[in-house]
Amino acid sequence: MDTDALTISGLNAFYGESHVLHDLSFNVKKGQVLGLLGRNGAGKTTCIGAIMGLVKAKATRIDLFGQSIAGLSPEAISLKGVGLVPQGRRIFPSLTVFENLTVAARRGKTGDNSGWGLEQVYATFPRLSERQRQLAGSLSGGEQQMLAICRALMINPRVILFDEPSEGLAPQIVAEVATVLKQLRSSGLSIILVEQNIKLALDIADEVVVLNTGYVAHAGGVDSLRSNDRLVEQLLGVY
């Protein structure tokens, strides 16, 4: 039986004494996109932070392809093969596009030249190739998001976490991001997608988990939400 890419079981997370995630459990299969959805303040970004070791967490289990990563530092989790495209992009504004990409570069587990490198990311987002000597802080918002995605890919992750990748972007750039997400899914990469753009999330995801005040309110196949407007309105506040 294939090992799941990521297994979360009994995850609790805290900000100080405040208990913000309550016994979350879900799994991401290899090559699957899991949409992590919920209203503002539901705990989505906190969940991503807990998986990456950025938020204090207590968990029965956080496994990456069967290997425990619970309690490791963010750097160690990244080295194990978990990439992050954070909310707000968080590129290095005083470095060039080229420097942002190469500072994160790491070969895949095979140790050869396959996988993601400069040639591959520039082919995916040609505008970054055109601007590779430009300071990242001078890029447009859409170009910065492209850079954040490519920076995460340059570590050659086995699982990648996207936190609101379409936030603040023009519709044309959102469409480009959606195309890249679909390409990554087709390549076999396992993805957790936090997204307020419900149409985008449901178009890309295979499974969905909906959070409500730190609890799992719904989990299932994407059709369980796509075909149920009433449930979408109840859990996400949209229709």
What is the model's pLDDT at position 111? 42
Ranges of residues in the chain with a pLDDT under 50 are: 109-113, 239
Task: Determine phi and psi for 11, rounding to 5 degrees.
Answer: -80, 125
Domain extents for the chain? 1-81+160-170+193-239
Q: Which residues contact 73 (CB under 8 A, 6 or more apart)?
A: 53
What is the model's pLDDT at position 141? 87
What is the model's pLDDT at position 63? 96
What is the model's pLDDT at position 114? 56
What is the model's pLDDT at position 110? 41
d(CA 8, CA 68): 10
What is the model's pLDDT at position 82? 96
Predicted TM-score of the model (pTM)? 0.89
d(CA 169, CA 104): 24
What is the model's pLDDT at position 77? 96
> What Cα–Cα distance (Å) separates residue 35 from each residue in 100, 112, 193, 233?
27, 32, 5, 16
Which residue, chain included where needed, has tokens 């300071």? 135
What is the model's pLDDT at position 103? 86
1-81+160-170+193-239: CATH number: 3.40.50.300
What is the model's pLDDT at position 56? 86
